[in-house]
Each structure stands twice: as structure tokens, then as C-alpha cells.
């Protein structure tokens, strides 16, 4: 059974520092991996989707890398801002089910202090 782990569970950084968020998964047979942001009491906002054949995806200050063979993905947020404060979740979709049934990590709660 796929297990998705996100370490650390919480992170606090001063504004301007780069953020590094980790996601690991036990079964490397994945179809793709998606990063989300969740604000308190709200739904999830999609950030980046990386297909299993890709090494990284970039969008603005966000960059996500994927090392499928070692079961790891990293989300980098450059020059953090207080508005980046949120919980960040990663989710993997199994290779055998391209339609869904993502397995989610528990998330990393990020606080960016002014």
C-alpha cells in the first residue's frame, strides 16, 4: 500500500528565505505527483503537477522536482512571502489508475514571518 510522508510537519521561516518542502512515497510505480496548497478551513489549490516521466516543473517562484526511483519530490518556493503561509500537501496517483485515487501526505504547515 502506498504511503506518502511529508517532513517536516511544520516549518517557520522569515520572509525572503527560500522554502524547501519534502515529500516521499514508498511505491515508485506512480503515474504522476501533484502539489497543493490549503489555507485554513478551505479547499485545496493545485500548484504543480509532475508526470512520472518528468524531472521537474516550474511556475513562477515555485519549482517541484521528482526523483521517482528514490520515491521523493521536493517543492521549492523562492523568496518566501507572508502570503505563502499555508499548508502544502503532496499527492501521488498510482501507475495503475490514471483516473484518480490520489494518495495524500499529511502536509507541511508553513508560516512565513514578516
Partner 1 sequence: SAVISQKPSRDICQRGTSLTIQCQVDSQVTMMFWYRQQPGQSLTLIATANQGSEATYESGFVIDKFPISRPNLTFSTLTVSNMSPEDSSIYLCSGSPGPGEKLFFGSGTQLSVL
Distance in angstroms (rounded) separating the CA atoms of residues 70 and 39: 30
Q: Decide if residue 88 touches partner 1 (CB under 8 A).
A: no
Q: Which residues does 75 contact at the CB level (< 8 Å), separation at least 6?
A: 19, 20, 21, 23, 35, 47, 48, 62, 63, 64, 88, 90
Name the segment binding partner 1 (CB under 8 A); options: 17-25, 43-51, 60-68, 78-86.
43-51
Among 11, 13, 28, 44, binds partner 1 (CB under 8 A): 44
Which residues contact partner 1 (rule: CB under 8 A)? Answer: 31-32, 34, 36, 41-46, 49, 51, 89, 91, 93, 98-102, 104-107
Amino acid at each position: 500500500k502506498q504511503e506518502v510522508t511529508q517532513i517536516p510537519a511544520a516549518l517557520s521561516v522569515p520572509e525572503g528565505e527560500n522554502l524547501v518542502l519534502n515529500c516521499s512515497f514508498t511505491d515508485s510505480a506512480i503515474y504522476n505527483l501533484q502539489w497543493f496548497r490549503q489555507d485554513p478551513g478551505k479547499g485545496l489549490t493545485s500548484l504543480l503537477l509532475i508526470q512520472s516521466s518528468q524531472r521537474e516543473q516550474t511556475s513562477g517562484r515555485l519549482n517541484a522536482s521528482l526523483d521517482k526511483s528514490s520515491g521523493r519530490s521536493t517543492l521549492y518556493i523562492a523568496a518566501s512571502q507572508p502570503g505563502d503561509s499555508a499548508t502544502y500537501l503532496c499527492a501521488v496517483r498510482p501507475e495503475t489508475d490514471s483516473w484518480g485515487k490520489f494518495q495524500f501526505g499529511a502536509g507541511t504547515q508553513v508560516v512565513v514571518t514578516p
